[in-house]
Amino acid sequence: MAEHILRRHVEDEGLDVEVDSSGTGGWHVGDPADHRTVATLRRYGYTSAHAAQQFQALWFDRYDLIIALDRGHYRDLRGMAPDGEAREKVRLLREFDPDADADDLDVPDPYYGGKTDFEEVRDLIEAAVPGLLAEIRKNLAAPGTS
C-alpha cells in the first residue's frame, strides 16, 4: 500500500525517484497484493498492481532511502546492511509524521483484521507522506545525491 501511495505523490510532484517495495522474508514472493489492500487503494484512486519480492542486501547500493513500516522490519533491514552508511539509510515511515507518537511508530499489519484496519493503515501512510516527500526533496537537492 505504501509503495502505491508514495509513488503517486512522487509522480504528482514530478520528482525523479524510484519507488519500490519488498518484504524482509520470502514467504509471498511473486504473490499479488492482498485483495483488501487492492480494494483500499482503488477506493482512493491509487494503482494497485503488485508482485511481492524479497529485499536483497545488494539494494543498499541502489537506494538512498529505505523505509520500514515497523520496528521488526527496521531491525531486520539494518541487520542486512553491509556497513554503517547503509544502516543509516533505513528509516521508519512514521518518523516522517510530525503527529506520530515517538513511542509508537509502527504501522500495524492489517492482514488479520478487517476493512477498518486497512483504512487505518492507509491513514497512517498518508499522514507520513508529506514529511517523507520533504526528506526526498532535501536529499535530491543535496550535493552528490542521485
Whether the Cβ atoms of residue 109 and residue 130 lie closer than 8 Å to each other: no
**104 among known catalytic residues:** no
**For residue 119, what are the CA distances in angstroms to 23, 33, 42, 50?**
21, 15, 12, 19
Closest CA to 126 of 18, 1, 15, 13: 1
Catalytic hit among 20, 31, 109, 123: 109
Overall residue count recorded for the chain in this entry = 146
Residues labelled catalytic: 109
